[in-house]
Amino acid sequence: MTDRDAYEAAFCAPLEDTERYPQGGGGVVILRGAVGNVPALQAALHSRVPIPVRYRCGLSDDVVMTPEPCNIDDASLQQLLGFQVIEQINHRLTTWQQATDAKRALRVRGHHELVRINGPLDEIPTIEAALVLEESKAEADGIAPDSIELFARLSDRLALPLSLADGSTGWHTDDSFNQSFAGQMWLLAQRNLSGAAALPVARSQTTLVIVPPAAFDMYVDAPAGTPLDRGCWAELLDELGCTLAMDEGDAVYYERGVYHRTADQHNNREALSMDVQHDHEVAEGTRREKDEI
C-alpha cells in the first residue's frame, strides 16, 4: 500500500458513509439521494435559469456580474425542491450532527445559488472558430443568440484570458458575518451537459475536493498567525484533498472552515449551493464570505 493509499483509507474512505458513521467525517457529511426526482429538479432549474444565463451562474463573489436568476432565496428554493424534500434534508442534517454533539438543529436557510461549472471545449485554435462552434451549439439548443450572448456563452466556457468565469473555485473556506451560518451544502443537480454526453464520467469526477477536518488538524501544524506561501499552501491542500464520489441528487454538507475546491473540469455540471444555518431566528439572504488562499 502506498502512502496515498494509506491516507485515502484513513481519511477519504470514511467520508463515503458519514451519515451512517458520523464520527468518520468530522465536519463533513454526504446525503445520498437527497433529491429523489432528479429530472424534475433539472427541469425546474432550467425553467428558472434559461440559456444563456446559466453559463454565467457561479459568480458568488461578484454580485454585479451574477445574473439575478442564479441567486435563489428560501421561497424559490422551496419551489425548486419542494417543502417535504427540504424538511427531509433538515432532519437528516440534524440527526447526523446530534450523533456527535448536542448542538442546535440545522436547517437549509439563507442565500442559495445555482452554480454552473463550465468544462473546457475541445482544443480550438482561434476565437473565430470557437464562436462558430458556440453558435452551432446554441442553435442545437433551439435559440438564436445575438453576438453578445454568444460572447457570454463562449467567454464563460473557454480557458482563455477573455473568460469572465467558468464557475470553478480554488481552495477556500466559506464563512459569514452571520453567526447563525453553520456551513454550506452542495447538491449535484446535473453533469455531463452541453455536448459532452459522449464523454465517460466517473462518480469521482465533476464534484468537489474536500480536506477532511481530521486530516487538516493532524497535518497542518503551522503556528497561529504564520504567513504561508500561497503556492505551498495550495500544494499541501492538494495532497490532503479527497475527491468525493457523488451521483446526481446527492448532496454534501461541510461546516464553515472546511477547505474545499472544485474538482476536475473535464465535464460541465450544475449544482445548487445552499446555506445551512443553526435553527433559530435569523435574517434571510445573508451572503457568504469566502476565505480564499
User: Where do the domains of the chain lie, and which CATH numbers do they carry?
Assistant: 3-119+166-292 (2.60.120.620), 120-165 (no CATH)
Measured distance CA(259)–CA(278) in Å, rounded: 20
Q: What confidence tens digit (pLDDT) does each residue in 72-106 have?
A: 999 999 999 999 999 999 999 999 888 876 667 89
pLDDT tier, 149 (very low <50, low <70, confident <90, very high otherwise): low
Pick from 133, 126, 134: nearest CA to 153: 134
Three-class secondary structure of residue 212 per DSSP: coil
pLDDT tier, 109 (very low <50, low <70, confident <90, very high otherwise): very high
Cβ distance 71 to 59 under 8 Å?
no
Q: Decide if pLDDT at 267 tops 50.
A: yes
b/e 194-209 (16+ beta carbons within 10 angstroms → b): bbbeeeeeeeebbbbb
Cell output for 244: 468525493
Cell output for 7: 491516507
Average pLDDT over residues 24-53: 87
